[in-house]
Chain A
Amino acid sequence: MRSKIAKLSDTELALLARDGNADAFEEIYDRHAPGVARALASFAGADADSLDDLVQDVFFKVIDGIASYVPERPFPNWLYTVALNTGRNHVRDHARERPVDPSELDSMPLGGNGSVDCPDDIIGTRLLRLVTTLPEELREVVFLRIGADLGYGDIGEILGIPEGTARSRMHNAIANLRAHLGVANPESKKERP
C-alpha cells in the first residue's frame, strides 16, 4: 500500500489525505517535513527544538486546513504558504529577542572564489543563522527557495510578487550573505536576471 502511495504526486496525496487516508498523509509528512524544517530554519535558526516545534505547528495547521485544499493549486505552494505564515508568526512572537550578531560566524571556513568550503553541516547551520538576520522580504524568498526548491514563478505566486522580483530578491539575499561573510562575488553578473 505504502509503495503505491509513494508513487503518487503531491496533489494526489493531498486529495487522499483530505479524505482521511492516513498513509497518504504520512507520505506527505515524510516527503516534506525535512524541507519545511530547512525552510523554517531561515526564520528560527537551526536550533533543533525550535524547529521541531515549528514543524509540528505547521503540520497541525495542515491537518486543520487540508479540508479546504483544492487541487487547482500545487500542493507544495499551499503547504509552504502555511509554513511561511507560521514562520512569520514566529518572527513576530520573538521580535524582542536579541538578533544574531554576524560576527558570531567569523570562524566559518570560506573559499576565496565566491564559493564556500563545506567540511560539514555546521556551516549550513551557521549560514542559516545569518539568513535570520536578512530583511524580511529577502528572507522569505530564501525560505521558499531552500525549503521546497520552488521555482521563482511559484515563489512569486506565494508571495504575490512578479517572478522577476522573486529572482531579484534571491540574488540580493545571496549578495547580502556574501557581504556578511566577506566573500567576493565574481559570478554576480552571471546570476543577475
Chain B
Amino acid sequence: MNDKLSIEDLLKRFRRDPAPRVKRAVLSKYAEHHGRRRSAADAQRLWRRPVPLYFALALIVVAAGLSFVGGQQLSRREASPRDTSTVAQDTTTGAPLKQQWKYAPSDIL
C-alpha cells in the first residue's frame, strides 16, 4: 500500500487483535462471575420467596385465632363456674333429695 495518510488515520489503522487465549480467559471469567452471582441471587430469591412469608403469616393468624378461642372459653367458664357444692341427701337412704319448692305456687303473687 502506498496511500498517503494523516498521522491520526495511520494510528487508527493500527490493528492488533488480542490473541484467542485472551478472549477465552475473558469469557471464562464472565461465566464464572455470573455463575456465582446467579447462585447468590437464587439463594436470595429463595429466602425472599413469598411462600415462607405466607406460611409465617398463616401460622400467626392460626395462633391468634386459637388463643382468642381459648381465651373466650376460659372467660365463659369463669363467668359461670360449675356448682361443686354437695347435693343434699336423704339421711336415711343417701339418695339425693328431690327439689322441693319452699313456697307453694299459690303463695307467689
* Residues in A lying within 8 Å of B, measured CB to CB: 17, 20, 22, 25-26, 29, 33-34, 37-38, 41-42, 46, 48, 51-52, 55-56, 59-60, 63-64, 67, 111, 113-121, 123-125, 127-128, 131, 142, 145-146, 149, 170, 174, 177-178
Contact yes or no, A52 B18, CB < 8 A: yes
Contact yes or no, A127 B7, CB < 8 A: yes
Given the complex, which residues of B lie within 8 Å of A26, measured CB to CB? 27
Contact yes or no, B5 A116, CB < 8 A: yes
CA distance A123 to B10 in the complex (A): 8
Q: A41-B14, A121-B14, A146-B14 are in contact. Are A52 and B8 (CB under 8 A)?
A: no
Task: Name 25 A/B residue pairs within 8 A (Cβ), A-sorted.
Answer: A20-B34, A22-B27, A29-B27, A34-B15, A34-B16, A34-B18, A38-B11, A38-B14, A51-B18, A52-B22, A56-B22, A56-B25, A60-B26, A63-B26, A115-B5, A116-B10, A118-B3, A118-B5, A119-B1, A119-B2, A121-B14, A124-B10, A127-B14, A145-B8, A174-B7
Given the complex, which residues of A lie within 8 Å of B3, measured CB to CB? 118
The 6 residue pairs across chains A and B that have the minimum distance between CB atoms: A124-B14, A115-B4, A59-B26, A146-B11, A20-B34, A55-B18
Given the complex, which residues of A lie within 8 Å of B31, measured CB to CB? 22
Q: A120-B1, A125-B14 are in contact. Are A64 and B22 (CB under 8 A)?
A: no
B19 to chain A, nearest CB (A): 5
Q: A22-B34, A63-B30 are in contact. Are A52 and B19 (CB under 8 A)?
A: yes
Interface flag for B98 (CB, 8 Å): no
* Residues in B lying within 8 Å of A, measured CB to CB: 1-8, 10-19, 21-23, 25-27, 29-31, 33-34, 37-38
Given the complex, which residues of B lie within 8 Å of A149, measured CB to CB? 12
Residue of B nearest to A187 (CB): B6
CA distance A67 to B25 in the complex (A): 19
CA distance A34 to B13 in the complex (A): 11
A25 to chain B, nearest CB (A): 5
Given the complex, which residues of A lie within 8 Å of B25, measured CB to CB? 56
B16 to chain A, nearest CB (A): 5
Contact yes or no, B18 A25, CB < 8 A: no
Given the complex, which residues of A lie within 8 Å of B17, measured CB to CB? 33-34, 37
Name A64's contact: one of B12, B18, B21, B33 (CB within 8 Å).
B33
Name B22's contact: one of A33, A41, A67, A177 (CB within 8 Å).
A33
CA distance A33 to B37 in the complex (A): 24
CA distance A120 to B13 in the complex (A): 10
A126 to chain B, nearest CB (A): 10
CA distance A142 to B7 in the complex (A): 11
A149 to chain B, nearest CB (A): 7
